[in-house]
Amino acid sequence: MSAVATTLRGVGQTLITAGVVILLFVVYELYFTGLETAREQSQLRNEIEDLWESGGGSYETVNDPAKPPAKIPLGSGIAVIRIPRFGRDWGKVVLEGVTLSDLKRGPGHYPGTQLPGQVGNFVVSGHRTTYGAPFNRIDELKQGDAIVVETRDTWYTYRVSTTEIVPPTAVDVTYPVPHQREAKATIARITLTSCHPKYSARQRIIVYGQLADTQPKAAGTLPPALAA
């Protein structure tokens, strides 16, 4: 066998090996990380339900100037978010924190932003691919779509208002009034953030919503957006 043929054969084998490694990595990222997140979400769901049943986990008074602020443990579940457009059974526990390790477990609440139902901006970030991809279909949300957030005592129904694409550095989307640092909030908002486009972190897709309905929780009673 000539030296050229030997070289070409070696290059071909190397490329095949590299392709297999890349394929296995993609399978791991898109499938096995989802299994990990599903286990984490199951654990978070059990923890938050136990906490609510014991009378704990009511954080809505945080940031109320009339009461001392409560410290929410990072990594703990604070609410359950449901988006009917993503499917009747779609629901994720939102945990406190948006570090890489937090977002591997599910959508995360930006510490320091408002909480469900509060006047201001309740900001939630989630992966669009890998780790369960909770916001994989975020680009499908349309004006008027419901985003329902469940806490220990209350259902909060937000309605999508607008969507925009911003650079990753646009932290002003998390302000109580997005993009307006000094403005005083007068309404309760929700902001969902994720990477854009899919399989890229080049930009961020931002979905804004406004609180449309608040309903105390009662046994067997769902808010209209989920009962339909």
Inform me whether the pLDDT recorded for 225 exceeds 60. Answer: yes
Inform me whether the pLDDT recorded for 204 exceeds 70. Answer: yes
- Composition of the chain by helix, strand, coil, percent to 5: 30, 25, 45
Q: What is the pTM of this model?
A: 0.84
Span 50-76, mean pLDDT? Answer: 77
DSSP tag of 140: G
126: enclosing H helix or E strand: none
CATH class of 3-227: mainly beta
Supply the pLDDT for residue 23. Answer: 37
Supply the pLDDT for residue 21. Answer: 33
* Beta strand pairing call for 120-125 and 203-216: unpaired
Domain segments of the chain as ranges: 3-227
